[in-house]
Every structure is written in C-alpha cells, then in structure tokens.
Structure 1
Amino acid sequence: MKTGREKQLVAGILAHVDAGKTTLSESMLYLSGRIRKLGRVDHRNAFLDTYELERARGITIFSKQAVFSWENIEIILLDTPGHVDFSAEMERTLQVLDYAVLVISGPDGVQGHTVTLWRLLKRYQIPTFIFVNKMDQAGTGRESILKELKKRLGEECVDFGEASAREDRSSEWFEELALCGEELLEEYLGTGQIEKSSVAEAVYSRKIFPCYFGSALYTDGVEELLEGMREYAKSKAYPSDFGAKVYKIARDEQGIRLTYLKVTGGILKVKDILPDIEEKVNQIRIYSGSKYETVQEVAAGGVCAVTGPEHTYPGQGIGAEEGLDMFVLEPVLTYQIQLPPGCDVHSMLQNLKQLEEEDPQLHIVWEEQLGEIHAKLMGEVQTEVLKNIIKERFGVSVEFGAGDIVYKETIEGFAEGVGHFEPLRHYAEVHLLLEAGERGAGVQFASDCSEDMLDRNWQRLILTHLEEKEHRGVLTGAGITDIKVTLIAGRAHLKHTEGGDFRQATYRAVRQGLKRAKSILLEPYYEFRLEVPGENIGRAISDIQKMYGDFEPPELEDGMSVLTGTVPVSTMRGYQTELLSYTGGRGRLFCSLKGYEACHNAEEIIDMKGYDSETDLENPTGSVFCAHGAGFVVKWNQVEEYMHVESPLKVSLPEEERHSYEPASSSASRIELTEEELDAIYRKTPDPIRRMADSRPITVKAPERGKYDAKREEYLLVDGYNIIFAWEELKALAEINLESARDKLMDILCNYQGYKKCILILVFDAYKVAENPGEVQKYHNINVVYTKEAETADQYIEKTVRNMDRKYDVTVATSDALEQVIIMGQGAQRLSAKGLKEEIELMLKEIRSEYLGRPAEDRNYLFDYMTDELAKEMESVRLGKSGNFENILKTDRKRV
C-alpha cells in the first residue's frame, strides 16, 4: 500500500465505555468523506460495528480498522473496545499506534477505566490527543472539565480547541505551552511565541496533550480535532530492514485465519516468506469496516491483515521487530465452561484453542483432576459474548459456572531448586536460584552458569524450558509470578543426555525450589475512587474496612466526600449495587486493576483449594536417580543427598547461613520404578512449546495401565504423511517427489525397527483414491498400510489401537494433537514427530558410538594373513625398492 500523502498516521481511539468513542469514529469518517451517511450506535448502523452482537449490545467488542484521508494526511484509524471486559483486546492494539485519541465523557469526567487507559498510554509511550465528548449535555463546563483533566491526568493537558485555531494566538496560551518543557520555555522567552514544529515535537514526546471539546454525535469540534492532528502529528521514520508487529489474530466469514500486523520496516509483499516463522503471505488485505481491498504490498507504517501464516500470535515481532511477551491487563476471574450432554470434550478443547489463538488471555486449560475446561475472563459481559461466539462458530450452547478469583503465588527471600532426571540411558541435572521479585514484575529468567560446567546450547535449552510453560506454585497450584529464576549450575552426559532430559530436570528444579522457599499466596487488588455524599462517608469508610481495603483520608470535592485506596477484588465484587442503594443513586465508584498483593485470607483459600503438591503428577517435586541399572524417585526434601553437582550457594554462603540448605533429617523411602514407568514419564512430557505455535497443549491423562509384563509385544504405529510433512528434509523432498519422500521414510524406519525390534506399522492415507480397497505391503522388516477409500490414517490407527484391546505395548507416532488425545484415551502412548526424530537420531548416535568403540583386536589387517616372504616384498614395494611383486605373488599362490 503506497500513498502520496505527506503524512501517514496509525491512530487509535480509546475511551471508557459509553464515552462516545465509536460515534467519534463515525464523525471522523463522515467529515473526511469516507462514508456518506452518519451511522449511530443506538440505531445499530455504525460503520465500524460490524459484528451483530456489537450492534445488539451497543458496545465495541473487537478492534476495527478504517482508512481515510484528511487534507494532506492519511489516517489508519483503529477503533478499540471501551468496556473493561474487553480491555485486553484494546491493549494489544496499543503496540502498533503512532498516536492515540482519548475520548472522555463530559458529564462523567475522568472515570476509573480512563485512568487505567492513561497509564497504559504512558507505559507504551504513545502521544495522545484528548477529545472531551458530549459537551452539548447539561452540566458540562469547559473550565471545570479542563481543571479535572489537569488534576487527574496532568498539567500537560492544554486546551487546543479555540486558542490554537485563532491566528492571533493569545500570550496566555503560549505561556501555558511554555510551562510544559524547557525547550518550549526558552523558545518563548526568546521569540515571544512557539513554532508549530516545536509544538508538534512536544506532542510527539508526550510533553503536551492537546485537548479538544465538542459533541461527536453532531460533529461539533471533530473538525478541530482532525485539524489538530494534521498540524501537530508527525510521521515516523522507519528503517529499511523488514520488520512487523502482530497485534491481532482473527478469522473471516469463511474461517480463513487472519494475522493483523503493522509493517515497521521495509516492505511486505504478497508471496513473501516471513522471517523467523518461515511462512508465506498468500494475501494482503486492507480493511475498512467489514470490507477490504487486496493489495500487492504494504510499506513501512502501514497496517494490514495477511492470510497464510498459521503460527503467529499477538505481540509477536517479525524480522527486525522485537516481540512483546507480557501485557499489563490480564483476567482476574476464572470460569468453568460447562458443555451440554453428549458434547465431545476433546473436539471442544480444540475449538476453544482456536478462540485462544485470537485472545491468548482466555487461557483455556483442561483441569485434569477436576475433569473440567476452565477459561480466564474479565467479567460477566465477556462470558455472555463468548457464549454467543461459541454458539455461532461451533454450534454448541455452553454455560459458564460461577466466576472464581485467579490467585497467584510468589516467594519470600530466595531458595535453590535442584532437579535431576536419570532413568536408564538419560541424564540431566539443573540447579536454579529462585529470588523474590518486585510486585508486577512477572517471572524473569536468566543464566549465571559457567560454560565450563554446562555448554551454552544446554543453557539456552534450559531457559527455553523455563519459558515454555506456566509453572505452578505449591500452595494452591496457582501460577507463579514476581520471581526471578536464574540457572546457576547443571550437568549433562556426553552420550546419554538429550533435550527432553533437561526439560524434566528443569521442571523438577522449579518445583523443588518452590517447596524449599517460603511461598506467599497473592490475590488481585483494585485501585478505587469512591465518591459519596458527606452524610454517607462514615458508611463508606466502614465498608472499605470490612473489605480489608486501605485508603487515604477522605477529601472534599464539589460537595462530595472522596475516598481513594486499594481493596481486594474478591471483597469489592457486587459493591456497586450496594453503593447506589445507600446513597440514593448519588454515589460513584471507579475501579481499575492495580495488580497482585498478598492475599488477605490466605489460609482460608489454601484450605478451600485443598491442593496437594505431592499428588500433582503433572508437576512433580522430586527427582529421578539411577542405581544398579534401575531408576528410583527421591522426594524433594532428600534430593540434596543424591545430587551430583555441589551447590554453588553452599560454597558462597557464610557458614552461619549454610544450614538453610541442608537436607531434612527424616529419611524418605525410595520408590523403585520399572523401565516402563520411567519411559511413560519421559514420553508423556509435552514437546517443547513454541510461543508462535498454538497455546499450551491439552493435558488428558491416559487410563492406568496394568502391571508391566516384559513378554508383551511392542507395536509402533506411524502416521506416514504426518511425519513426512513434520520433518523438514522429508517435506522438502515431498515438494519435489512425494513417492521419494515415502521411500526415504520407509528406509529410515526399517533401520529403526532393526534396532528397536518392535513390530512397526507405517500407515499412509489413500482414502481419496476412488474404489481403493486398501493394501498392506511387507517392506523388508516393516508393514506398510495404504488405507481404503474414505478411511484416513487417523481412523485406521485409532481402530487398530482399539482392536488391540491393551494386550500389547502400543505407541503411536504423530503430531496431530487431537489424534494424540484419542490414542492416549485408548491406553496407547504417544510419540510426537519431533520425538520420533530424536529417537532415531539417538539410535544412530548409539550405533555409531558402538562401532567406533570396538576393541582394536577385532580389526582385520592385511599383513596379519600374509606369509613372511610376501609381507617383506609388500613392504619393499611400498618403499619403492622392488618391482618383483607379481612373481612372489604367483609363488605364494602355488603354495596355497
């Protein structure tokens, strides 16, 4: 998308719900000539309310894009949700904005969510214009509102509506601008005025926030706002190296996956391969409302939606652009998703994961112990919207259970965590330092381990494993936060260590460290502003105290008593209704999420949750060691007695502090593990999770197996085409000749079967071949199956596993997530495509090491089998002293 305009801006419109944000967008589009008729939210015909539920409810649920021109600038307008329940969608949009327009309702003033938006704009350093809307309503004094803006948002809020429009700008206006920065003050003192370019630079650097007043419904003041953006907004300069920032994932009416992004460097063209993720751009769309036009390229500064990529996610940086992993706003409530009778839970999990792609903060999880699907949401309105989306998209009517608070856990002080994983033919040990971090810092990871002790590649792998999942605390099983985790030591084995071993050791080290540390339960807190009539202030103070809140001494503002402070979310829920009741409708409550603090009733919550960290099989606290060829589990409080690497902390700590790292005196019983059980631990661990891929894997526990029988035959079923298109070298070969890729996979698996001695069945889809009866071939030492018409490889494998009726040890190699869930439910074990490749590479390493390690006496040397005379003549020939080699050879043959 190229433009001949002097400026191109990406501007977002933000507001508290019902401030008139969508109406302002409508007015801007109308005045620019982009639309011919003004739509209205209450008439359900607004240009940017494209979703039926948005029109029915009169609120914005999804961010929208519109493109229009004003004079010499092109504005890409992004309309964002105003309701607090959809604020995560709004925050994701902030990543790509050049400027923001913050809309404030004149009658309501600066509300609680408005303050949250203001803080977010400061965090993302977005230059901001302010538009005070609904000035046509009674009780909206320009001076009083501007005074409130300066008090609540900052003295840098300056009225640009009338003063900047006059040619003879008043000296008072210039003086107000001069107070916003030293450079502006020097210019004013030197010349008696301030140039537009200087004002534009101050707006860009967030030293001035231009304020405009009007009524969007009647387009009053909107033209002044557009003129202000034309005069005082600057176009960004972008680098030539390609970069892009993903801010949204969606699907169109045909179900095609759309990646919304802003190009932040270079040019994006159709059929380009996106760097890092190596996926092709099939189509570039420029949306305006519900309609779009396709273009061949988009230059830096442009915003578009692309089709093709399947593994993008909001916040992702592509090319030269850095990504954003952690957002400020997050849900504080978790709900159970209740499915109707007869609904397939596994299929529904896959469907919900699709929604999680679009809104990662839904955090869809399968609670295995409860047998329930849970989602994290902002509030009741979002649950209603989500129910409609699920019904509309998947045809399933779901309900939501009562919302529960999302708790988190952290630690006090510091502790060392040790994880060891050493079943037969595997080895890894990891030492982590867990330190308490600042509130709101999240979980941070670092390495402080010498490369002489542990190779850099292993260290990077450990950091990857730390980042790939949400680690659970040991008090209630809630996610951990505000902790710094540092790798301080580790050990690998030259022959037996592979990536999955460090995954297990890392997870166990985190859990063991949490068990040793003093854990603290955290709960979300609101920052509130409570306005009540003077006669009700005593009741308000009493209520806040009962809710375990803290507050500043009350202040008197415009005849109302004002309380500000913090209070737990759990105790404040539902208070708005009570407030309106006892104040006769005159009281006002503004809340914004402050963050997580220590839980006010931690013991009660811990008892209610009833979480036992020792029975959480998915998150073990102990380690696996090996002795006399057998593996055994050591409990968390005995790991230090068995670990192989000396603790770096013990060496550095003073003598009086070392006692805190001594193992407990009570002896833990050793639990012997069979080879099958150790293999199950290793195989059931999910493959490393890429952030660019779908969200966390679905965890479905397979039914318990019977007692291990060493005589049972082992079967390996391989989904052929799934493996071919999952392995890069086979995929590349398949693009040239699919039959060659099949043959190569068959040869690889023949070698593997010869080493593993299992019964190997390779299954290929042939269901699209008309009247195909199916075929089974014997290829050397493996069985190759071509499925019959209308039968996929998945169906054949599922049927075969079910027919085996758990009489055999069955493993299925596939990376199809749904197929993995199904086969585990049938009692089989799963092996991903990547896991199979690692197994084969390990086999080749072991074969190679065995060959290279054979004793020297096993080798055959030519001279060992010659006669003495022939050996002497061969040596003479080698040295060039004799040419009589043929005669001696004839003589030697006659002797033989």
Structure 2
Amino acid sequence: MPRTTPLEKTRNIGIMAHIDAGKTTTTERILYYTGINYKIGEVHEGTATMDWMEQEQERGITITSAATTCIWDNNRINIIDTPGHVDFTAEVERSLRVLDGAVAVFCAVGGVEPQSETVWRQADKYRVPRIAFVNKMDRPGADYERCMQMMRSRLHANPVAIQYPLGKEETFRGVIDLLEEKAIIYRDETLGAEYTEEEVPAEYKDIVREYREKIIEAACEADEKVFEKFVHGEAISTEELKAAIREGTIAIKLTPVLCGSAFKNKGVQPLLDAVVAYLPSPVDIPPVQGWTPDRSGVEVRAADDKQPFSALIFKIMTDPFVGQLAFFRVYSGSLTGGSYVYNSTKQVRERIGRLLKMHANKREEIKDVFAGDIAAAVGLRNVTTGDTICDENKQILLEAMDFPEPVIAVAIEPKTKADQEKMGIALNKLAQEDPTFRIHTDPDTAQTIISGMGELHLEIIVDRMMREFNVGANVGKPQVAYKETIRSKANAEGKYIRQTGGRGQYGHVRITVEPSAVGAGFVFENAIGGGVIPKEYIKPVEQGIKEAMESGVLAGYEVKDVKVTLYDGSYHEVDSSEIAFKIAGSMAFKEACRKAHPALLEPVMKVEVVLPEEFMGDVIGDLNSRRGDIEGMEARPGTQIIRALVPLSSMFGYATDLRSRTQGRATYTMHFSHYREVRSKGICLGTRRNPWRKRNTSERSRT
C-alpha cells in the first residue's frame, strides 16, 4: 500500500510544558478543530481523550505520553502529549528523542516554571526545534511580554513574537497576526471554530509596528537573503519573513511565540498553522546517525522510504487485550505487518505481528509504516525502551535514551498469599514499561523494594497494580536514595589467599582512592608497570571495585565520584585467578574508603512554592527547619514565589503540611537538583540499613 501523505507534509511534534500550563487542553482543541473528535474533552471533567488512564482522569494530570494523529491543511501531524509532573520526566525524555519538533506551552500568569526549564533542557539535548504558545491569556495576571522576558532570562531562548494578544484577562477576545497585520476575533457561540479577520484596531497600530521591526531583525539574523534586502532598503514580503522564521526555527536560532486561551477556544487554529509553517518535516532535519553493530563505524540513514528500514523503540506498554505494545519511530525505509525485523541492540530476529496507529488508548490496524511514521507493533517479545529494530542485511544501532536514576524507594509486600505470585508478574510488566521504575530484593530481609522518581510516581505504580492486575499490596514508608563518597586520598592493600588442599586462590593489589570531579562517577586508572600483575587480571580488579562500590562502608549505599588508581600488587603463577583478583580489588577498595574519610550524600530537590504574601514568614521558617536553603523570592500579581533547595528526606508529607499552614492556598513543585553531603547530625549511620543494597558477587563468593 503506497504512502498516503508525502513525507514533506508530515510533522512529528510533542506538546510539552510545566504541570497545569494547559498541554492536554490544547491537544483536545487540536483534535476537535481537526475533526478527530466531534466534541471537546475537558481535563477538569475527566473527559479528555488524551488522559485516558483512570488515575489521569481522577487527578486531572497527564501521567503517560499519549500519541495521536490528525490532518490539518493536507498535512499529517503526529502528536505526543507529554506529562508535566516532575515524577514523569522520563515520558518527556523518550518522546523528545523521537520527535522532529515541539510546542512549548507556557502559562501566561506563571510564565517559565521549574518543569518548563527541565523539558526545555531536554529539547535542547536532542536539538528539537520548537514554537512557544503562551496559554491562559484570559486569566487574571496574564502578561505576554513578561512571559517572553522569562524565556530569555531563564531558558536563554530567542523568542520572536509573531502574534500579539487582542485584549487581556477578561477582555481577551482574539489575537493579532503580526506578519499579516490583521486581527483574528473568535466567536464564542461556535466554540472558536469560526472567527473573523478584521483590521488591526487603531490603539494597537504602534505595537504592531514595533513588533514587526523585531521580526524583521530576527529574520535578518536567520536568513542572509533577507539581510541583503534590508541593507539595500528593499521591501521584504510576508512570505520571505515566514521563510526566514522557518529557517531560524529549524536551526534553533529562534522560537516563534504565539498566544491564546485553549480553554476559551482562542488561538488554536493559528497554532496549527504555525506547526505546519515553521516546524520541520522529517526531510528538513539532518539524517539520523548511528553505529555499526560492533560500534566500529558510523551509519547514516536519510528519511527516505527507499533506504533500508531502521526504527527506534521509545515506549513499551502492556495492553490487556493485545499484550505488549512497542511504540516506535521509523527513521528510514518501510515495514509491512507480519514481516521480520532485526533487533540490533539485543541481536535477535523477531516477527512483527500487527502494526497499529494509536489514538490515545484506541487503535487502528494498518498494513504498512513508512519513514517518519510513529506507530505501535504487536508481537515483539524481547524489546525494551531504547532498542533499535532494522533490516537484518543493513544493520544500524541508533542512540538510545538516558534516564535519571531513582531518588526514592519503598518496601512493598502482597496483602495475601494469592497476591504474591501476581505481584511479581505485575511489577515486572510495569518495570518493562517505565525505565525509571526499578525493583530489587533486599538481601537481608528478603523484602521487595521498588524505587522511582517521587512519591506520586510510586503511588501511581501501586494504584495501577491494584486496578490493572488486581494485586493488593501493603507499602512501607519512603526511603531516600542516599549515596556515599570520599573526602580525601588514601592508599590500601587487598590480599586474598586461600589454600584448600588442591589449587589455591591468590590475588594481591595495592590501590589509591581519591575524590573525582562532581558528576564524573567512577574513574579507574591502571598504573601497573613491568608485569607486576598480568593484563588478564586488571579487568577483574576493576570489576571487583565496581561491585564493592554498590555497597559503601558507611551505611551500605552506592559510592559515587571516586577515582581509583591500581599501582602495585603481586600474583602467583599457579594459584592466581580472575575471581581472586576480583575479591582482592573489592577488599582493597573497602579498606581504602574507610581511610579516605567517607561521607554520606543525599538528594537535594529544587522546590518552588507559590503562595499569598501573608504566609511568607511561616513557610520560609518551615523550609529552614527542613534544612532548606532559600535561593530567592519573586513577586507576581497577587502571589509570591519562594525558591529553595531542600533535602528530599525532609520533603515527605510536605503537601499536607503546606496546605495546613496556608489554608490550602499555596501550591508547590519540586524536582531533583543534585547530591550534597548530609549536614544533619540526626542521621544515625550505625543503625541505618540500606534498603537499596544488592549483595554483590564478591560478597557472595566469600560467604
């Protein structure tokens, strides 16, 4: 079956923003105006198409990325609506990895909020071109210019307004198109489906002139031809300005800014026009680069149906009716349902059962997929998020996604014996779907420990176990993911000798440990000379040290940011073995850490509290009592913002405490910032047992 939409008329976009900026509301209007939905779904009523999970409908937030497809002006737009809550950052990460463009939604009142910064950085990481939509222009305190100023100062972006609001707050009735120099006024009785184009009101003429000059200035920076015309005093047409803005957007030199109110059905159609006009199609972006399977050379795939097939799995979902669904983005070539693909990450050949086009949780079976398409496959058994599937004769390995490490853990146990077996199956299926959710068993207590990105993340996991898998569970108190490090340099020796009658075991190493740069992780240096330790035993020494790092000397937490230098040792021609040197390396590392002034590190969260001014003193005092450092304060219309760095261990139950202190009038957001040394003397290391610890092979071999 041939392609129905030309590749240059395809757009793969994501809707990204801070929680409650209006992403899903905007997406629902897009589905309505493009004819996918016959009525508008509302987040606050629990009827939004894209928020299809029960937990999403109850809480009024997006938890999982939902994909859909719509047609606008003969262009096919594949949309992924992403979550805004910090606990579900991984959903944004994996979506942006496979998208060609994004719409960043900002609240006109809140402006650039903490999670806006996080998702913007993620888009920068994958070099995703984006346009901005300043939503909620009808709200009290809405400020379009301030929002753009915050984009410059906080995101280091180059926002270029191509629209200006016509009225604001309760008088907001439409937008002014600064390129076409016309006013677009929406009719409320048709839910914004109909609008009139009028001349710009006289009181806005000067504003339009000022902003058009800024557009021409930005166009000159983006396009040399426009610059030449400007220098020679020639007239620049609207079409030339649009072409220059498109060029600048795709090159990530500028961000076109539009405005509106999705909830009041104003400004969504011009946003769709901007998606088509300024965001790239798969042919506008550079060909995707990957490696040969042995990573010895670079492979390149252009977005072309005639190229060998290559795609990236970006999401796994368990469906009660069809089993495991693997969402993938096709970068090159085409694929037919029922054919075989090669998983170059796992190096296995698998058969695709059926191909599906997704619309939230509804699905439509399709026969083929082509370059630039986003679809789901049924029948792939051995895939995980980040795997590459490709043509077996022309293999390529695409770059996978990096996901943050969990920062919080809880113990979980089944309520009944009947739940015991089902719980293991349910947890493994949920872990397959979510790369930031981990499971392991505590070696000392045999308890099952689950870890994730925050309290809400784990709460949703337990809730899904109950609803989707009918598994009841009791959950313990949250545990923080502490880490350990060292403060100074130290030397140590590790000698492992065992005689058992036959061939013995002999391994002997001398090492130096010292702190490495913050965030550098584990650095291993081999300074052995003269064959003191044979080459084949160096790698086992490094492996033994790595395993010893999983359980530190202070409280059994993982050790980070350490440099280890192996400088001396000895071996026995008969008794030495890889396992002996592995154990010797582990012993030496433990001994060196004890001498190097070990320290406990804790995760610190960036907290932003929005509250009425009269509660400022009480809330600041409370944050200080939680070992928080106040970073700054900011006044906004009717509210105050407090920004602070607070240890995660002090933030459990903060939502309830904040509500009681502010009569329910304050809100807060937090996301992970960094690890720092524990300052509180109240943490007793001698009695603390690490629920994250996994017993390593060196420990097992000695028991």
TM band (smaller chain): 0.7 to 0.9
Determine helix, strand or coil for the equivalent of 2:340: coil
Q: Please state how far the C-alpha of 1:228 moved relative to its aligned partner.
A: 0.9
Distance of aligned partners of 1:549 and 1:393 in 2 relative to their CA distance in 1, 3 Å threshold: closer
Residue 626 (structure 2) aligns with = 547
Determine helix, strand or coil for the equivalent of 2:128: coil
2:125, 2:625 → 1: CA distance? 33
Q: Please state how far the C-alpha of 1:306 moved relative to its aligned partner.
A: 3.0
1:312, 1:497 → 2: CA distance? 40
Residue 206 (structure 1) aligns with = 252
2:595, 2:648 → 1: CA distance? 30
Residue 685 (structure 2) aligns with = 606
2:272, 2:493 → 1: CA distance? 60
Q: Within the alignment, does 1:327 sit opposite 2:427 as a pair?
A: no
Distance of aligned partners of 1:380 and 1:155 in 2 relative to their CA distance in 1, 3 Å threshold: closer
Structure with greater proportional helix content: 1
Match of 1:81, as an amino acid? Answer: P
Residue 272 (structure 2) aligns with = 226
Highest CA radius of gyration, 1 or 2? 1
Q: Please state how far the C-alpha of 1:591 moved relative to its aligned partner.
A: 2.9
Residue 351 (structure 2) aligns with = 281
Residue 113 (structure 2) aligns with = 111
Distance of aligned partners of 1:345 and 1:230 in 2 relative to their CA distance in 1, 3 Å threshold: same
Residue 63 (structure 2) aligns with = 61
Q: Please state how far the C-alpha of 1:337 moved relative to its aligned partner.
A: 0.7
- What per-residue deviation string (whole Å, max 9, x for no partner) do you get for residues 413-456 of structure 1? 44567666666466666776654344344456677778978888
| Conservation of the 8 A alpha-carbon contact between 1:265 and 1:301 | yes
Q: Please state how far the C-alpha of 1:558 moved relative to its aligned partner.
A: 4.7
Residue 191 (structure 1) aligns with = 229
Match of 2:470, as an amino acid? Answer: G
2:583, 2:485 → 1: CA distance? 22
Query: For 1:469-868, what aligned pairs fall within 5 Å after superposition?
Result: 471-484=550-563, 508=587, 510-531=589-610, 536-552=615-631, 554=633, 556=635, 558=637, 562-583=641-662, 587=666, 589-601=668-680, 604-609=683-688, 618-619=695-696, 681=701
Q: Please state how far the C-alpha of 1:609 moved relative to its aligned partner.
A: 0.5
1:583, 1:207 → 2: CA distance? 43
| Conservation of the 8 A alpha-carbon contact between 1:111 and 1:590 | no
2:218, 2:631 → 1: CA distance? 29
Q: Please state how far the C-alpha of 1:357 moved relative to its aligned partner.
A: 1.9
Determine helix, strand or coil for the equivalent of 1:596: strand
Q: Please state how far the C-alpha of 1:367 moved relative to its aligned partner.
A: 0.9
Q: Please state how far the C-alpha of 1:567 moved relative to its aligned partner.
A: 2.1
Query: For 1:46-57, what aligned pairs fall within 5 Å after superposition?
Result: 46-57=48-59
Match of 2:480, as an amino acid? Answer: I
TM-score normalised by structure 1 residue count: 0.61
Distance of aligned partners of 1:449 and 1:31 in 2 relative to their CA distance in 1, 3 Å threshold: farther
- What per-residue deviation string (whole Å, max 9, x for no partner) do you get for residues 500-555 of structure 1? 66765665565455344332211111223445555554444433333322234655
Cα root mean square deviation, aligned: 4.1
Q: 1:176 aligns with which of 214, 221, 234?
A: 214
| Conservation of the 8 A alpha-carbon contact between 1:528 and 1:566 | yes
Q: Within the alignment, does 1:382 sit opposite 2:461 as a pair?
A: no
Matched pairs, number? 623
2:530, 2:32 → 1: CA distance? 63
- Select the structure with the greater relative contact order (CA < 8 A; seq sep ≥ 6): 2
Distance of aligned partners of 1:22 and 1:546 in 2 relative to their CA distance in 1, 3 Å threshold: same
Residue 829 (structure 1) aligns with = none
Q: Please state how far the C-alpha of 1:348 moved relative to its aligned partner.
A: 3.6
Q: Which runs of 5+ in 1 are unaligned?
A: 623-679, 685-896
| Conservation of the 8 A alpha-carbon contact between 1:511 and 1:619 | no
Residue 261 (structure 2) aligns with = 215
- What per-residue deviation string (whole Å, max 9, x for no partner) do you get for residues 620-660 of structure 1? 888xxxxxxxxxxxxxxxxxxxxxxxxxxxxxxxxxxxxxx
1:324, 1:466 → 2: CA distance? 27
2:645, 2:9 → 1: CA distance? 44
1:584, 1:43 → 2: CA distance? 25
Higher mean C-alpha displacement, 274-283 vs 445-454: 445-454
Distance of aligned partners of 1:306 and 1:337 in 2 relative to their CA distance in 1, 3 Å threshold: same
Determine helix, strand or coil for the equivalent of 1:158: strand
Q: 2:327 aligns with which of 260, 284, 288?
A: 260
- What per-residue deviation string (whole Å, max 9, x for no partner) do you get for residues 79-132 of structure 1? 222233323333332322222222223344433333332333333432222222
Match of 2:344, as an amino acid? Answer: P
Residue 810 (structure 1) aligns with = none
Q: Within the alignment, does 1:87 sit opposite 2:89 as a pair?
A: yes
Q: Within the alignment, does 1:18 sit opposite 2:20 as a pair?
A: yes
Q: 1:363 aligns with which of 415, 423, 438?
A: 438
Residue 180 (structure 2) aligns with = 167
Residue 318 (structure 2) aligns with = 251
Q: Which runs of 5+ in 2 are unaligned?
A: 165-175, 183-207, 231-235, 288-299, 302-307, 390-394
Determine helix, strand or coil for the equivalent of 2:25: helix
Q: Please state how far the C-alpha of 1:373 moved relative to its aligned partner.
A: 1.2
- What per-residue deviation string (whole Å, max 9, x for no partner) do you get for residues 646-704 of structure 1? xxxxxxxxxxxxxxxxxxxxxxxxxxxxxxxxxx728x9xxxxxxxxxxxxxxxxxxxx
1:368, 1:38 → 2: CA distance? 52
Distance of aligned partners of 1:254 and 1:582 in 2 relative to their CA distance in 1, 3 Å threshold: closer
Q: Please state how far the C-alpha of 1:363 moved relative to its aligned partner.
A: 1.6
Distance of aligned partners of 1:251 and 1:190 in 2 relative to their CA distance in 1, 3 Å threshold: same
Identity between Structure 1 and Structure 2 (%): 30
Determine helix, strand or coil for the equivalent of 1:23: helix
Q: Within the alignment, does 1:272 sit opposite 2:341 as a pair?
A: yes
Match of 1:681, as an amino acid? Answer: S
